[in-house]
Amino acid sequence: MVFGVLALVAVLIFVTRFLREPRRFGNAVWLALALVLTGLWLLSLIEGVTWLQTVVLVLLAVLALLSALVLPWALVANGVVMLRREGHRPANLLSLLAGLALLAVFGLTGSTVVFAQPRWLVVLAFSALLVAAYLAFVFAALLLYSVLYSRMKRRARAEAVIVLGAGLRGDRVPPLLAGRLDRAVAFWRRCPQALVVVSGGRGPDELRSEGAAMADYLVAAGLPVSQIVVEDQASTTDENLRFSVDLLRERGFAGRVLAVTNNYHVFRTAVLARRLGLRLDVIGARTASYFVPSAFLREFVALLVQYRKTNAAACAVLAAGPVAVALIG
């Protein structure tokens, strides 16, 4: 009964927050919390059915074991693929680093189970597990809500569309950026009067600005030059949005605006737009499957940094808990 009441409260809070403003990171946490509490409530309903409880617990244990055995190595393998296909940029190391971190946590936990000594090692293992569990919960919440949000905004309408840059290979548009541009072309064909803003400056390893290369791509796809607005100074998502909106305002545009990025990037872009006070919707283009794990980890890290005070405080409290218990004991 207690879990049922808590689940209902969490659901009501999530629905209220979502209806008021869907572009909040806290919505992801409340959705995940509501699902966890609902699951615990459903488990409490079968309290008297011993065999069913046993089946559920065994399934959960098997799932946890498989996750512990398979997930770290899958992340390491994905990290190797990212380095081979996307280069040795720091962002491409995230899958590899996450996999190695999980292996370290599981190895530390396993050593405490086997040896249970020294005591400081046990305390360290509990602290690491609590922090890892918190990060895993937040990541799962972000992943779930990102998928929900990106599907919700698939058919958003607007009179102008902003395509966010994603880097060039020399002077060529790579597949990741081409996916965003193709999505913008499909939108423009439904709304041929819409302006299309291509946003992106020139990086240190690029031969031209992203905006210029993106504009040429759109012209080759059939868009008239008069419908394309080039923004060629932005170097971050923040600047992509602000500079593009400023260009539209300079042209006297006051209609609805739509931003196009990749599906993994939709929710964080929407959160950033809200923080900047911009009223726009965000839709996503498909992403190559090998790129998805690293991409979502990148978004996860960016949101952790964006809300660094809250997350740092939560991790500090969880890590200090076992230490405090050990000292008191």
Render each residue's pLDDT in the chain as its tens digit; 329 residues. Answer: 787 889 999 999 999 999 998 988 899 999 999 999 998 888 888 777 777 778 877 887 888 777 777 888 888 888 888 888 877 777 788 888 888 888 888 887 777 767 666 777 788 888 888 998 899 899 999 989 988 888 776 556 788 999 998 888 788 888 889 999 999 999 899 888 889 999 999 887 778 899 999 999 999 999 999 999 999 999 889 999 999 999 998 888 888 899 999 988 899 999 899 888 888 888 888 888 888 888 888 889 888 888 889 999 999 999 998 888 878 86
Residues 6+ apart with CB under 8 A from 207: 168, 170, 171
Q: In the CATH hierarchy, which fold is given to the domain comprising 160-287?
A: Rossmann fold (3.40.50)
pLDDT of residue 156: 62
Query: What pLDDT does 216 receive?
Result: 93
So where are the chain's domains? 67-152+290-329, 160-287
- Say which residue the tokens 């393998």 belong to: 77
What does the pLDDT read at residue 328? 81
Residue 259: the pLDDT is 93
For 155-234, list the strands marked E by DSSP: 160-164, 195-199, 228-231
Say what the pLDDT of residue 141 is: 93
Dihedral pair phi/psi, residue 172, rounded to 5°: -105, 150
What are the CA-CA distances from residue 300 to residues 75, 94, 98, 137, 146 (Å)? 15, 10, 12, 11, 11
pLDDT on residue 326 = 79
Whether the pTM exceeds 0.85: the reply is: no
Report how far residue 184's alpha carbon sits from residue 325's, in angstroms, rounded to the nearest whole number.
55
- Helix 266-275 to helix 119-152 angle (10° resolution) is 90
261, 183 in Cβ contact below 8 A?
A: no
- Nearest Cα residue to 186 out of 260, 289, 273, 266: 260
